[in-house]
């Protein structure tokens, strides 16, 4: 069978912008999705673990850290969802024929993402308002419930990530589609036979825990009096998590690389110049991230943390570019979005760009406002505490 006979056609309408711009927006948008998504996924694992280790002493740093992490989860989850819209938009625009088809084939698990997401999201809210708030936070049973519930939320996110990996790999391999559809036209399929699946998934889940480690360290650096004991503790612990998980990532990454078909893998090993360059850059950055995180793990210094954060996020971006290149190699002989005619929607693109700049400025203004709101409060509290100490 000719594989092209089951790759659906693009619509008979022009693209609103050239392919390179759409690809750029896809990659950038995905990066903005990945960061909060990783914190949600990894954080919903780390938070219950921290709470577990601190359950006997609520004043301990580890308990406080778990509590703060749990409190921040809804915001990260919400941003993971909101930012997911951008790649969802551009992946459909660029690779719709592959993406829609793969989604239909796994329709039932795919649509279940919505329910899993809703449940996991509300679980974190329940934990925060019911079990971790001030009135109940002394009770041991509330702790147990919080830990169990957060862990269930984590399982939800873990499943969602697995379903995404199923879809993003199934869309690469149209040769499997027809047999799958004939077996279950009701959409009860998964891409479990894919050799890349488990390696790729493990690679992403570990990365999520590492990035959540960066967020944990961030909770320490965020403190105004960030040289205090808690702050140092958080930076050290978060950096250690990042460091150890990233070390573990070395064998897993190699496994992922070798699970890719050989003729595609060689592109990253010298055959394709740009891909090889990005890949080498990613390796170099990963090495630097390991160095910076060891530094931060031992010193707990805020400066080392910022270096670690910057380099760590650059590694994520470089990996996302690799991932995009990987998909392009798969698609090389399958579909060509660049053959669809382009009719630039200049007016919209200009309005969009101006608004995007406005939004960045607004976010800057808003985070400033929120930061001040909380830090003034915190400073007041410190002053109060100091005064209180004096009066005793």
Residue number with CB closer to ligand HEM (88 or 142): 88
- Report how far residue 175's alpha carbon sits from residue 7's, in angstroms, rounded to the nearest whole number: 10
Of positions 110, 154, 157, 233, contacts ligand HEM by CB under 6 A: 157
- Report how far residue 247's alpha carbon sits from residue 270's, in angstroms, rounded to the nearest whole number: 24
Each residue of 27-65: b (16+ CB within 10 Å) or e?
bebbbbbbbbbbbbbbbbbbbbbbbbebbeeeeebbbbb
Q: Which of the listed partners (other proteins, ligand HEM, none) does 164 bind, with a CB threshold of 5 to 8 Å by partner kind?
A: ligand HEM
The window from 30-38, 186-194, 223-231, 279-287 that contacts ligand HEM (CB under 6 A) reads 30-38
- Report how far residue 208's alpha carbon sits from residue 316's, in angstroms, rounded to the nearest whole number: 10
Q: Under a CB-based contact definition with an 8 Å cutoff, are residues 49 and 376 in contact?
A: no
Of positions 73, 127, 161, 317, contacts ligand HEM by CB under 6 A: 161
Of positions 10, 30, 151, 242, contacts ligand HEM by CB under 6 A: 30
Q: How many residues bind ligand HEM (CB under 6 A)?
A: 23
| Closest residue to ligand HEM in the complex (CB) | 84
Q: Under a CB-based contact definition with an 8 Å cutoff, are residues 307 and 292 in contact?
A: yes
Query: Among the residues of the chain, which ranges form H helices?
Result: 19-53, 61-105, 107-126, 140-170, 177-183, 197-221, 229-259, 262-265, 273-299, 302-331, 346-391
CB of 191 to ligand HEM, least distance (A): 10
The window from 45-53, 80-88, 267-275, 280-288 that contacts ligand HEM (CB under 6 A) reads 80-88
Q: CA nearest 233: which of 219, 243, 247?
A: 219
Of positions 17, 77, 234, 321, contacts ligand HEM by CB under 6 A: 77
Q: Which of the listed partners (ligand HEM, other proteins, none) does 168 bind, with a CB threshold of 5 to 8 Å by partner kind?
A: ligand HEM
CB of 40 to ligand HEM, least distance (A): 5
Identify the bridge partners of residue 342 per DSSP, sorted by sequence position: 15
Where does this chain bind ligand HEM (CB under 6 A)? 26, 30, 33, 37, 40-41, 77, 80-81, 84-85, 87-88, 91, 117, 157, 160-161, 164-165, 168, 200, 204
């Amino acid at each position: 069978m000719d594989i092209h006979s089951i790759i659906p056609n693009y619509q008979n309408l022009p693209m609103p912008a050239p392919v390179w711009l759409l690809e750029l927006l896809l990659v950038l948008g995905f990066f903005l999705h990945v960061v909060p998504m990783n914190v949600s996924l990894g954080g919903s694992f780390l938070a219950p673990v921290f709470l577990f280790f601190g359950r006997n002493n609520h004043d301990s740093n580890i308990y406080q850290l778990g509590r703060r992490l749990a409190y921040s989860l809804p915001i990260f989850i919400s941003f993971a969802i909101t930012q997911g819209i951008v790649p969802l938009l551009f992946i459909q625009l660029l690779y719709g024929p592959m993406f829609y088809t793969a989604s239909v084939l796994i329709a039932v698990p795919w649509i279940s993402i919505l329910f899993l997401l809703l449940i996991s999201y509300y679980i974190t809210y329940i934990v925060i308002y019911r079990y971790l708030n001030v009135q109940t936070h002394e009770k041991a049973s509330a702790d147990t419930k919080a830990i169990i519930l957060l862990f269930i939320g984590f399982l939800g996110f873990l499943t969602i990530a697995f379903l995404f990996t199923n879809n993003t790999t199934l869309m690469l391999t149209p040769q499997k589609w027809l047999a799958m559809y004939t077996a279950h036209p009701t959409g009860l399929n998964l891409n479990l036979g894919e050799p890349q699946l488990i390696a790729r998934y493990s690679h992403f889940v570990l990365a999520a825990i590492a990035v959540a480690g960066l967020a944990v360290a961030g909770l320490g650096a965020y403190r105004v009096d960030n040289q205090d004991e808690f702050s140092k503790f958080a930076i050290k612990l978060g950096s250690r998590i990042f460091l150890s998980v990233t070390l573990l990532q070395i064998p897993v990454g190699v496994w992922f690389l070798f699970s890719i078909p050989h003729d595609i893998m060689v592109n990253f090993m010298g055959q394709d110049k740009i891909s090889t360059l990005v890949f080498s850059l990613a390796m170099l950055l990963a090495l630097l991230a390991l160095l910076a995180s060891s530094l931060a793990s031992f010193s707990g210094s805020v400066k080392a943390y910022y270096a670690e954060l910057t380099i760590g996020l650059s590694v994520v971006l470089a990996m996302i570019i690799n991932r995009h290149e990987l998909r392009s190699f798969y698609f090389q002989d399958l579909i060509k979005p660049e053959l669809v005619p382009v009719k630039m929607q200049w007016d919209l693109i200009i309005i969009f760009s101006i608004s995007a700049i406005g939004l960045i400025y607004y976010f800057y203004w808003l985070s400033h406002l929120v930061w001040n709101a909380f830090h003034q409060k915190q400073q007041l509290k410190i002053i109060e505490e100091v005064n209180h100490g004096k009066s005793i």
